[in-house]
Amino acid sequence: MASRQLPPWVNHLIGCQRTPAGNRHLGLLLAGLAGTINSAGFLAVSHFTAHMTGIVATIASALAQGSLALLLPALAALLSFVLGALGATLLVRLARRSGACSEYAYPLLLEGMLLGGFALWGDGLERHFTGFITLTLLLLGFVMGLQNAVMTQLSRAEIRVTHLTGIITDIGIELGKFATPHPAEPQNRQKLDTLLLLAGCFCLGGVAGIMGFNRAGYLIFAAPALLLCVLSAAPVRADLCRAGTG
């Protein structure tokens, strides 16, 4: 099988044979990257792109006020997030049908390429393109939806990485189980630790995104782009080699 050709750490993180540890470690990595992209994107265009609850609330507020200036950016972020999730699902399902070992790698490779392009050309677009804010919201919303859908599918909806409402809720539930032990609802220390780490990684990623954007501008997006491309390149290459010799 092609997955056996992958470096062990790559196979652990993104191979098609999933394990709870692999899901957890990939989730922590992607949560950190999501925090970086979300915070750096906010400094770039004054809008968060991972927080769908806030975005839908903004749409409602804009509709109530009749404000196109508020409505259009929020709609762009919402639509692009949905399209990103749709695109990730299509790529995963197409790769799965062909028996590829890189079914989860293609969406992340696409995300890395998009972020890499934005890192290189974001500054020029901001200076010379009047629709820069809308374009940025479309791009970053798309990659957030892409990334969250990949993690949701490979972990069977146990781990999400681009927003924290569900994670913080689950932390409260797990703490409640520890506060009031009951045999019917056993305590799960590993789950609680994972939830806390996901929230922590998102927060640390946000700190890195803010500090990085303040120092390097749009080049900060090159860091997550490089990590995603390095992670996903080996599975994609293994599939291409398999197809070439098949």
Q: Which mean pLDDT values do the consecutive 10-residue runs of the chain (246 residues) have?
A: 67 87 96 96 92 92 93 93 97 88 90 97 92 92 96 90 91 93 86 96 97 97 96 86 67
Q: Is 27 helix (H, G, I), strand (E, B) or coil?
A: helix
Q: What is the pLDDT of residue 181?
A: 86
DSSP string, 166-216: HHHHHHHHHHHHHHS-BTTB---HHHHHHHHHHHHHHHHHHHHHHHHHHHH
Q: What is the pLDDT of residue 237?
A: 84
Q: What is the pLDDT of residue 1?
A: 45
Residues 142-173 pLDDT 10s: 999 999 999 999 998 889 899 899 999 999 99
Q: What is the CATH number of domain 22-245?
A: 1.20.1250
Q: What is the pLDDT of residue 238?
A: 80
Q: Which candidate, 218, 202, 164, 207, places its Cα nearest to that of 45? A: 218
Question: What is the domain partition of the chain in residue ranges?
Answer: 22-245
